């Protein structure tokens, strides 16, 4: 078969079809354009719109990607003032701050001195007996105790009871005073515990110890010469009756050697 009879098999340019001639143009049209040369593309680095290779800017509405990128960029960029403040604080040395001074507690109000106890009025047996005898008939009538005893018998019974009580108190306080006086003459007054215990007993029983010879009627002078006195034993006075339970002892000495000792000093 000759070549003249089959023109389609010819390798020349005149033998190509129209589709074969248009193929190179379509391939060129489908050629991939570089991203940097595409117009209207959002730059991932700066967020701006790229003009493209031909310098044309795509005028279109912002896409969701562009909006999200703009939001991330605004969030990532710190405020200028905050950045400067952090730079200054990083450059300046940190000075230690002194701890706050503790608040001073308000000064306590001065305690008021306790009011002195009222002086006890001495009581004697005749006055006490008279008062009881005057009040007993009225008390018996109010209690409806029946026939009241005659006044003489009532007075005798009250007198005996009161005198017995006074004698009992005098004997008991006299013993306590003698024990305290014996301890007082010791070098250490029996020790702190014994001294404190005896002071509590004396106060509870209403016995006052006199450690100075100011109340002369409660002391007796036993020995010595001179115008001054030295305390040998304290005196004890019953605060209920005002009577001396145990007389104190003094010794006369020269004025230049006078020593008025007390229970705490000796």
Q: Which residue has the higher pLDDT, 190 or 239?
A: 239
pTM summary value: 0.48
Q: Is 65 helix (H, G, I), strand (E, B) or coil?
A: helix
Residue 266: per-residue pLDDT:
36
Per DSSP, the three-state class of 165 is helix
Q: When comparing pLDDT for 199 and 52, which is higher?
A: 199
More confident site: 188 or 55: 188
Whether residue 47 contacts residue 66, with contact meaning beta carbons closer than 8 Å, is answered with: yes
Contact (Cβ atoms closer than 8 angstroms) between residue 240 and residue 208? no
pLDDT digits (tens, 9 = 90+) for 111-161: 666 666 566 677 778 888 888 888 877 777 777 666 767 778 888 888 888
What pLDDT is stored for residue 263 in this prediction? 41
Q: What is the pLDDT of residue 188?
A: 81
Residue 219: name the closest of 180, 245, 242, 248 by CA.
Answer: 248
Instruction: Please give the pLDDT value at position 88.
Output: 55
For the chain, domain boundaries: 125-257
Q: Determine the 3-state secondary structure of 248 from DSSP.
A: strand
């Amino acid at each position: 078969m000759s070549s003249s009879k089959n023109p389609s098999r010819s390798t020349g340019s005149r033998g190509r079809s129209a589709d074969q001639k248009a193929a190179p143009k379509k391939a060129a049209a489908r050629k991939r354009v570089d991203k940097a040369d595409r117009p209207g593309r959002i730059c991932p680095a700066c967020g701006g719109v790229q003009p493209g290779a031909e310098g044309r800017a795509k005028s279109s509405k912002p896409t969701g990607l562009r909006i999200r990128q703009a939001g991330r960029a605004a969030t990532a960029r710190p405020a200028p003032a905050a950045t400067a403040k952090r730079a200054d604080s990083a450059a300046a040395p940190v000075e230690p701050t002194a701890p706050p001074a503790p608040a001073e507690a308000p000064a306590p109000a001065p305690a008021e001195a306790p009011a002195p106890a009222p002086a006890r009025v001495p009581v004697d047996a005749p006055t006490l007996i008279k008062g009881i005898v005057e009040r007993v008939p009225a008390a018996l009538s109010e209690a409806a105790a029946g026939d009241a005893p005659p006044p003489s018998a009532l007075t005798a019974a009250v007198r005996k009871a009161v005198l017995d009580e006074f004698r009992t108190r005098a004997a008991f306080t006299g013993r306590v005073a003698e024990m305290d006086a014996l301890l007082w003459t010791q070098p250490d007054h029996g020790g702190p515990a014994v001294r404190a215990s005896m002071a509590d007993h004396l106060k509870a029983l209403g016995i006052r110890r006199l450690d100075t010879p100011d109340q002369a009627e409660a002391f007796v002078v036993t020995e010595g010469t001179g115008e001054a006195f030295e305390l040998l034993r304290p005196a004890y006075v019953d605060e209920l009756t005002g009577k001396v339970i145990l007389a104190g002892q003094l010794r006369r000495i020269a004025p230049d050697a006078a020593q008025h000792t007390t229970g705490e000093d000796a």
